[in-house]
C-alpha cells in the first residue's frame, strides 16, 4: 500500500511523509527521522516568503538542510504573489526537491498573511499559484485545510484550481481553520479531493498509530500518508508502517531504543550548535516520554535542568534507574 508515490519524475519511496511542524521539524529532527528509517519524504518548517525575499537570516536558517535529508520539500507561506515567486526561486536554488505552498496553517499571525487565510481569497490564490508555477523548475505542490469553517469547505474547489494551474500534488489536512487541531479530522474530505483531481493526493490528520495509517489510505484512496504529531511521540512509526506493509514482524521499541534516540537527538542539537538547544530538548522530551515507563519523572528532570551536560546526565541516570527496576518495554499502542 505504501510502496511509492511519483510526483512528476520524482519517485518517493515509501509513500510516507513527515508533516511540516513549526518549531519542530528543523534539520535536526528531520535527520533523526531519516536515521530511524521508513519515511519517504520530509518537509521543512514553513518559512515566510517575505523573510526570504529580504534575505532575513532567520528565514534562511529555517531552510538549512543536509544531504541525508533528500528527498525533501521546501515549504513557504505568504500572500504577496511577487514575494512568493521570489521565495519559490530561492527554494529551488537551495536544492530542495519540491517547492510547496502552505495553505493550511491556522495560526492567526499566519492567516493574516497567508496560510489557511488564502482559502478565503481564491482569486488571489489563483494568481499566486500561476506566479509560483512560473518561478520554479521543480515540482510544485500545496498543502491545504478543508476550508475556513464548516460553511466554507473549499478543499475540492482549491484542488481543482491547483491542478489547473500546474500544481503537481496536494496534501490535505481535513480540519477547518477554525477547528485548529481540535475535534476529529474528516477523512471523507480527503476522499472527495482524491476523486476530484488526477494529481497525487497526500492524506494528513489523526494518524497516531500504524493502524490509523492503513485505515486512512483504505478509506480515502489517497496516494500517500503524511504524519505529524504521531511522529513526535513515536518517531519509529514510519518504520513500523513499512514493516507491516511488507509483512515483516513489527519490531517493538525497547527502552534502549528510546534512550539511544533521545541521546542521538540531543547530541545532534549540540553538533549543530543550535542556539535554542536546551529549549528543543525540553520540547522533544515532552513528546517522546509519553510512551516511556515513569516518563513524567524524566520530563521533570529535563525541564528542571539548566545546562546541556546536566540534561544528558539526567537522561542517562533515568534510564539506568528504570532498567534496574525491571520495568516492561514501553506500551505498543502505536503499532496495533
Active-site annotation, residues? 105
Q: How far apart are CA 170 and CA 172, in angstroms?
A: 6
Half-sphere exposure of 318 (CA within 13 A, CB side): 26
Alpha helices in 197-251 (DSSP H): 210-220, 229-233, 237-245
Q: Could you list the beta-strand ranges (E) of 115-251.
A: 140-147, 169-176, 201-204, 224-227
Cα 106 to the center of its chain, rounded Å: 15
SS3 category, 305:
coil
Q: How would you classify the pairing of strands 72-77 and 98-103? A: parallel
What distance separates the 2 farthest-apart alpha carbons in the chain? Answer: 63
Question: Quick one: which of 80, 75, 107 has its CA closest to 91?
Answer: 75
Q: How far apart are CA 332 and CA 336, in angstroms?
A: 7
Residue with cell 504524519: 227
Q: How would you classify the pairing of strands 5-7 and 10-12? A: antiparallel
**Alpha-carbon torsion 179, 183, 186, 187, what sign?**
positive
Residue with cell 510547496: 100
Residue with cell 525533501: 72
With b for 16 or more beta-carbon neighbours within 10 A and e for fewer, the 201-225 pattern comes to bbbbbbbbbbebbbebbeebebbbb
- Cβ atoms < 10 Å from Cβ of 254: 12
DSSP lists the bridge partners of residue 10 as 7
The three-state DSSP-derived secondary structure of 26-94 is: CHHHHHHHHHHCCCCEEECCCEEHHHHHCCCHHHHHHCCCCHHHCCEEEEEECCCHHHHHHHHHHHHHH
Amino acid at each position: 500500500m505504501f510502496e511509492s508515490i511519483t510526483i512528476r519524475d520524482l519517485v518517493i519511496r515509501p509513500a510516507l511523509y513527515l508533516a511540516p511542524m513549526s518549531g519542530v521539524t528543523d534539520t535536526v529532527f528531520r535527520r533523526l527521522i531519516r536515521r530511524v528509517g521508513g519515511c519517504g519524504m520530509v518537509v521543512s518548517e514553513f518559512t515566510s516568503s517575505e523573510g526570504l525575499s529580504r534575505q532575513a537570516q532567520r528565514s534562511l536558517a529555517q531552510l538549512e538542510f543536509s544531504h541525508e535529508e533528500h528527498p525533501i520539500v521546501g515549504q513557504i507561506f505568504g500572500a504577496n504573489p511577487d514575494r512568493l515567486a521570489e521565495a519559490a526561486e530561492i527554494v529551488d536554488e537551495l536544492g530542495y526537491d519540491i517547492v510547496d505552498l502552505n495553505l493550511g496553517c491556522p495560526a492567526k499571525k499566519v492567516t493574516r498573511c497567508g496560510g489557511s487565510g488564502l482559502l478565503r481569497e481564491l482569486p488571489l490564490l489563483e494568481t499566486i499559484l500561476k506566479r509560483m508555477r512560473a518561478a520554479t523548475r521543480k515540482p510544485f505542490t500545496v498543502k491545504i485545510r478543508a476550508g475556513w469553517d464548516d460553511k466554507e469547505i473549499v478543499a475540492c474547489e482549491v484542488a481543482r484550481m491547483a491542478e489547473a494551474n500546474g500544481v503537481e500534488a496536494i496534501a490535505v489536512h481535513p480540519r477547518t481553520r477554525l477547528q485548529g487541531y481540535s475535534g476529529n479530522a474528516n477523512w471523507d474530505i480527503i476522499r472527495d479531493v482524491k476523486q476530484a483531481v488526477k494529481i497525487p493526493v497526500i492524506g494528513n490528520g489523526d494518524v497516531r498509530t500504524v493502524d490509523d495509517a492503513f485505515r486512512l489510505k483504505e478509506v480515502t484512496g489517497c496516494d500517500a500518508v503524511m504524519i505529524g504529531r504521531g511522529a513526535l511521540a513515536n518517531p519509529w512509526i514510519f518504520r513500523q508502517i513499512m514493516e507491516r506493509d511488507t509483512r515483516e514482524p513489527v519490531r517493538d521499541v525497547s527502552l534502549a531504543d528510546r534512550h539511544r534516540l533521545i541521546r542521538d537527538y540531543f547530541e545532534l542539537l549540540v553538533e549543530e550548535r543550535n542556539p535554542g538547544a536546551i529549549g528543543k530538548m525540553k520540547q522533544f522530551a515532552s513528546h517522546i516520554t509519553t510512551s516511556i515507563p515513569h516518563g513524567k519523572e524524566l520530563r521533570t528532570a529535563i525541564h528542571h535542568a539548566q545546562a546541556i551536560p546536566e540534561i544528558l546526565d539526567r537522561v542517562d541516570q533515568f534510564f539506568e534507574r528504570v532498567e534496574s527496576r525491571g520495568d516492561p518495554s514501553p506500551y505498543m499502542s502505536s503499532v496495533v
